[in-house]
Amino acid sequence: IFLSAFLFIFIFTTCKEAVTPVPELKEEVSEETITETEDLEPVKAPEYTEAIITFFSGDVFVKEGDDWIHVQIGDLLRKDDVLKVDTGGYCEIQFGQTGVVRVQEDTQLAIDQILLNPGEANVRVEMTTGAVLAKVKKLAGGESFKVKTPTAVCGVRGTEFGVKSTRGEKTEIAVKEGEVAVLPANVDVDELKEKAKGKGEEVKRIIEKIEERAIVVSANQETEIDENTLKETEEAAKVIEQEVEEIAKAVEPEEVKGRLIALEHVVEKSIEEMIKKVELPKAVSEENAKELEEIDKIKMLEIPVTRTETMAAAAPVIKLVKVSLEVDPLNAEIKLNGESVGKGRYSGIYPVGEELRFEISREGFDSHTLEITTSEQTEKLYRVKLAKLEAVKEEISIKSSPEDAEILLNGELKGTGTYTEKFEPGEKLSFLIRREGYHEKRLDIDVKVGSGKTYNIALERKTEEIGVTVTPNDARVLLNGRQVGVGNFKDEFPVGERLHFTVRKDGWEEQTLDITVTEGSGKIYEVTLKEILEGVQITATPSDATIFLNNEEVGRGSFSGNFKPGERFSFRITRDGYETKTLDIAVSAEVKTYNVVLEKILNRITINTVPRDASILLGGRQIGNGSYTGSYERGTELSFVIQRDGYKSRTFNITVPEDRVKTYEVALTRLQQVTLSTEPRDASIYLNGSFVGRGSYSERYEPGRELLFTVRRDGYKESTLNVAVSDRPSEAFSVVLKPLPLEAKISVSRNRIVGSVATLGDKIYAADSNGLLTAANLSWDKLWSLSTRNSPNENSSPVIIKDKVYLSGSRELVIAEALSGSLLAKVSLEGESAHLFGRRVVGYNGQLLLPANDSIIIIDPATGEETRRIPIPGGSRMTPTVWQNRILIVDQQGTFLIINPDRGTVEAKISTQAVQPVALTITVYENTAYFSGRKGTVVAIDLGNRRVKWERKLREEGTSVFTDVECGSEGAFVFARDTIFGLSLRDGSDLFNPLTDATSAPLYSGSKVYYGGEGKLIVRDASRGSLLETVEVGDTISTKPARINKKIVAGTTSGNILLLNPSIE
């Protein structure tokens, strides 16, 4: 929290002492108040790299090595100094004329940066825990004043505010005037700028955008950032930090410039995500508003700041003096001009001529007043030792009842019955009087003058409530031989007393109860007497059977009666549905109990089935085949199930009738077999609206039954089939579904799919703009995904070689198992080996070719370990092509190179106009190589004769080409921005007018060109460019389409993979 207020600025002019009158309470002063003085060094002007301590109270320390040393008034603080303020203290630090920070109690503060040059002031402090109040002047454009905590960074432009930090938990920021920009501590703009130092003003400008987008807390507002906010923003902060580190590693200015767009994108996206996690400012709380009022008491002194060389030439004139006060005892309160400023220690710097009046007091000591008018003569340390007062002791006596009760004082046993002692005024006494069996009593006494007396403490004896309830309720209750109640009794009894109860009733057995009263023993005791009987008790089963005596009903389920010994009786027990029983009894001289169990009357039923071998089940258990006979009591509900293969099962419910014998005939209905199969094999089959299977279904039905089958599969047109079950033993049906043009959308990412999709068997592989590598299958399942550090990803695509998938980009090459997505290896790509615009690896004789700017790196395809390098004269940004065991590539000057990979030498060079080709590879079709330069100059090389066959510019003004030239028997097809060019293989002339409706590179297949348009797939004749078909997809295709079986697959800007079935193949 923001700690309690202090007054910092006071007026002094002269120095004099005054002693207040002696209080009437004291008998005499044991010693006199002593004041000693010690001269202090004059105030020293700080340099531009120093701050000065202008006020402090209590215990304030600065760290020197491993030790904490008390600060002195006027101490100068420098970068990396650490200050600690203990409980009850505070300290004010002035940073030239830039600002003042009041460090509150229980706070630790580190000085990270001090630079006080005019117009370039840069102050930065770090607080691990505690609170500060700050008053900062309006800063110039190049100046900075920041407070950092474990969870936040606060930057100001001239304001009054407070910051409080709970160690490792949260930071609260409240503003009184002006504005404070607040960011989570994990994105420190100063640290980021330091990492990117020397990389240019544009890098610095982008990093400073972070502060421009920070949460701003205005006057009378507050906010907080806690450890949860740090966790939620950690990922975004790391993305920014990693991008800055990549720029810091860059050596060439061109490489730094190439990463500026990525840095700006990352900063914009990440800071937007982070700001969403920070609590928006709200109205300042009443508590914080009150604490901010203390800022009004912070004053900025006119302390000159100078450079070292200036001080050597002519020391500045300082019209300020120090005043320090140390008091014994240390917990004595110090008031300055009527307001409390702390205890024990206080120091400050004041202008010459201020009036200071110190009042020093502590209970039990003589008060003292010190008056000072500040001047060079009063610039001293004043040590004040207060005189201790000797007071009259008061006699306190305690007498207890009972007399053997224990008397304890402040937890210590002092005696029993009586205790007397004398005590000084001001002492606090806590007595406890106790005895077993009594309620203890507590007596608290604040000893004051005249409070001495005798306290008589009578303890109350503990009692317990004891009660007795009796069955039967007319029995008499006697206590110690005296009757005290009938049926029940209850009273209070002292702890320790012994009680003897007797319970009596004629014809019942007497019982006694002995009780010793103890703490917690109070309760009601239940006493049940036993009757003295000579009679008969009868219990019948079932419990509702009727009992008759001499043809008169005497009970249901049970009977109890007293009879003369020797009498004879005949009882009859009956119940509907049970056999009647007779019980003849001769009464004896003791109670006798008879248990009579009636037997149920059972009826016999028989079940016969057609066919004769049908199974009969009852309660889920088979009980017969063809026939069953059993006995059950009348009214029993029975549910039989009759079943046989090839027949319709039947449930037969009966209620056992009154007839003693009953026979039932049950006939089953024969069923016919119906079978349905579908194409495709995984189509869903529904019968009368209910799902019954996939691909095939077979079941038996009774003749004449009407069946409505519906067959469905995503991506196919639904079909229905009506079947009327005939008398034939079996019938088979088949349904073939027709595929939809847009069979499916498989969502694999939230971001744009880039480059081209790759296929392996029925698997589809794609990469998105954040570098996420994903796999799906033709069953529309997303199989797996793998995150990479290749973000942002403009054009990098997955490469399938045998059973592995590869993805390279701006930061790394990832190698994974194509089937499972298991990560096999990661290879860091930095500097000249980075693949920024879709450059990719190529398979060669069981190895991988990894292109770099100046060489081709040969690596292990499973581990990514480098085995050797082949240099590229002139350098290249292309993806190489392997042709007839040779490597084909074009250098930055447009020279076509044929390289012997075994020797690492260039066998042939062919000059072309296609300079600076980027990312794309060379397409070889019928012994001719086709490629394009970065500005759209397309070249055909006759590989047999090793000469240029033809060259042409796509557009005079130039156009960027980054994707491979697609070739087929009709021509070569080039994608440049949103346009597809169809060129003659013979001379490079136009096959048709450029197609300007493309959103992706084209696929050539079967004399047709397939490519993406806005919301559709477009199919055109490859030789004439005429439109053959469009398939509406409701999304924008962003990748080069691919063939898989008879289907077309492509990625979209919405992160989907489309599965398409054009009608024209």
Q: What pLDDT, in 10s, does the model give residues 55-91?
A: 999 999 999 999 999 999 999 999 999 999 999 999 9
At 809 the pLDDT is 93
pTM of the model: 0.42
pLDDT grade, residue 18 (50/70/90)? very low
pLDDT of 445 above 80: yes
Q: Are 721 and 743 in contact (CB under 8 A)?
A: no
Of 499 and 14, more confident:
499
The predicted pLDDT at position 901 comes to: 94
Confidence band of 350 (pLDDT split at 50, 70, 90): very high
More confident residue, 148 or 394: 148
CA 585 to chain centroid, in Å, comes to: 82
- What letter would DSSP give residue 312? H
Quick one: average pLDDT of 435-440? 88
Mean local confidence (pLDDT), 469-481: 92
The predicted structure's pLDDT at residue 910: 96
Res 1039 pLDDT > 50:
yes
* Same CATH fold assignment for domains 463-528 and 535-597: yes
Q: Look at residue 7 and tell me whether its pLDDT is greater than 60.
A: no
Mean pLDDT of 225-246: 89
Q: In the chain, helix, strand, coil percent, each to 5?
A: 10, 50, 40
| 541-543-544 Cα angle (round to 5) | 120
What mean pLDDT do residues 888-917 have? 95
Residue range 560-579: mean pLDDT, rounded:
84
| pLDDT score for 922 | 96
Q: Quickly list DSSP for 708-724.
A: EEEEE-TTB--EEEEEE
pLDDT digits (tens, 9 = 90+) for 527-565: 998 865 567 888 999 999 999 998 899 999 999 887 766
Q: What is the pLDDT of residue 31?
A: 59
CA distance linking residue 985 with residue 1022, whole number of Å? 12
Paired residues of 86 in beta bridges: none
Banded model confidence at residue 766, pLDDT cuts 50, 70, 90: very high
User: Does 867 have pLDDT greater than 70?
Assistant: yes
The span from the CA of 69 to the CA of 150, in Å, is 25
Cis peptide before 680 (omega within 30 of 0): yes
pLDDT digits (tens, 9 = 90+) for 612-652: 999 999 999 999 999 999 999 888 999 999 999 888 899 99
Domain residue ranges of the chain, discontinuous segments joined by +: 1-42+326-388, 392-461, 463-528, 535-597, 602-669, 671-736
Q: Kindly state the average pLDDT of the residues 277-305.
A: 91
Name the residue with tokens 């847009």: 742
pLDDT at residue 313 tops 60 = no
Please say if the pLDDT value at position 3 is more than 60: no
pLDDT of 533:
56
Poorest-pLDDT segment among 101-115, 345-359, 466-480, 530-544: 530-544
Reading the block at residue 483, the tokens are 């009757």
Domain spanning 602-669, CATH architecture:
Sandwich (2.60)
Residue 701's CB: how many other CB atoms inside 10 A? 16
Q: What percent of the chain has pLDDT over 70?
A: 95
Q: Which residue did the predictor score with more confidence, 270 or 899? A: 899
Q: What is the pLDDT of residues 582-622, one digit of tens each?
A: 999 887 767 788 999 998 888 899 999 999 999 999 999 99
Residue with tokens 């017969």: 624
**pLDDT given for residue 592 in this prediction:** 83
**For residues 395-418, average pLDDT:** 92
Residue 10: predicted pLDDT: 25
pLDDT at position 13, please? 24
The CATH superfamily label for domain 535-597 reads Carboxypeptidase-like, regulatory domain (2.60.40.1120)
**Segment (H or E) for 46:** none
Residue 472 has pLDDT above 70, yes or no: yes
Is pLDDT at 19 greater than 50 in this prediction? no
CATH class of 671-736: mainly beta
Classified by CATH at the fold level, domain 463-528 comes out as Immunoglobulin-like (2.60.40)
Start-to-end Cα distance in the chain: 75
pLDDT score for 757: 96
Is pLDDT at 1064 greater than 80 in this prediction?
no
Q: Given this model, what pLDDT does residue 28 score? A: 36
- Round the average pLDDT of the chain to a whole number and report it: 89
Question: From the CA atom positions of the chain, what is the Rg in Å?
Answer: 51
**The pLDDT of residue 423 is above 90:** no
Distances in Å between the Cα of 615 and the Cα atoms of 607, 699, 893 are 11, 20, 91
Residues ≥6 apart with Cβ < 8 Å to 717: 737, 738, 739, 740
**Is the pLDDT reported for residue 892 higher than 90?**
yes
Count of alpha carbons within 13 Å of 833, Cβ hemisphere only? 19
pLDDT band at 957 (very low <50, low <70, confident <90, very high): confident
Query: Which pLDDT score is estimated for 450?
Result: 77
d(CA 1038, CA 1050): 8
The model's pLDDT over 23-36, given as tens digits with 9 standing for 90+, comes to 333 333 345 788 89
**Spatial separation of the C-alpha atoms in residues 1002 and 991, rounded to whole Å:** 15
pLDDT per position as a tens digit, 202-212: 888 888 888 88
Instruction: List Cα–Cα distances, 463 to 400, 417, 434, 493, in angstroms.
Output: 19, 22, 15, 5
User: How confident is residue 20, by pLDDT bands cut at 50, 70 and 90?
Assistant: very low
* Average pLDDT of the residues in 698-715: 89
Instruction: Round to whole Å and give the CA distance between 848 and 805.
Output: 12
Handedness of CA 368, 374, 376, 381 (dihedral sign): positive
Tell me the CA distances in angstroms from 527 to 483, 500, 503, 524, 918, one per residue in order.
Answer: 16, 13, 8, 10, 104
Confidence of residue 1016 (pLDDT cuts 50, 70, 90): very high
Predicted pLDDT at 938: 97
Q: Provide the CATH number for the domain formed by 392-461 in this structure.
A: 2.60.40.1120
Phi-psi region of 730 (alpha: psi -120 to 50; beta: other; left: phi over 0): beta
pLDDT range class, residue 723, cuts 50, 70, 90: very high
Is residue 711 within 8 Å of residue 691, measured between CB atoms?
no
